[in-house]
Structure 1
Amino acid sequence: MDIFAVNNFGDTRSGGLAGPMGLFVIVLMSIATVLLIRNMNKRIRRLPDSFADGKRTQREAEIARLNADLERPDAAESSADLDADRSVAAAVPADDEVTGVTTKRDGGSAQGDAGRV
């Protein structure tokens, strides 16, 4: 009973393209990484040292927009419309205030005491 070692993995000498293709993929990925790092460094260098405050910038933009609206030739007509809209909105009654409801255990009113629900 002689047992011989059998190569069940196929012929290892033919089709030896996996090594060079792997090297090619690694080189391509390395080049792409270097280019991306260079690009990001350029973009980071272009950034300002500090950014403006968001609320201040938003306020300035709102002021500029309002000034541009006032400088339009038809600004007088639109401002009259805005005043009319405000007076209509003021005529609408406001909703009643919602107050807390207490139980008998809390004792008394919910206005101003610590037992509010």
Structure 2
Amino acid sequence: MVLESHEVGDDPAVTDPEHYAVIFENERVRVLEYRDSPGDQTHSHRHPDSVMYTLTAFRRRITNGDRAVDVDIPAGAVRWVGAQEHAGHNVGDTPTHTIFVELKEPAPNGGAAAGAGVLGPQT
């Protein structure tokens, strides 16, 4: 499922404004800056298809219902994040600083984007 826009209740900048900040937006993309500290958790929220650029290394647990995945990503990594709903928990020893470029356009040919249904970022 491709999420083209956010509803107020699932927008990470609304559910967790202490962690997410909108730093740029136009009709095609929205760019979010994300920061947290070890032990911090987010509420359930949605991301449309996005590209994530990690400014710091981090380790976190991404959950959706009874599904969970642990991710350990180095600084400077770029990952695809297919449209998804999740909550996050910094289970590492370092703060997280990440940029998300959220796409507002649907996947080409009306199909699901690469990685649809996968929880967390992909290589």
Normalised to the residue count of structure 2, the TM-score between the two structures is 0.12
Task: Answer 1 or 2: which has greater strand percent.
Answer: 2
Task: Answer 1 or 2: which has greater helix percent.
Answer: 1
Normalised to the residue count of structure 1, the TM-score between the two structures is 0.12
Answer with 1 or 2: which has the greater Rg.
1
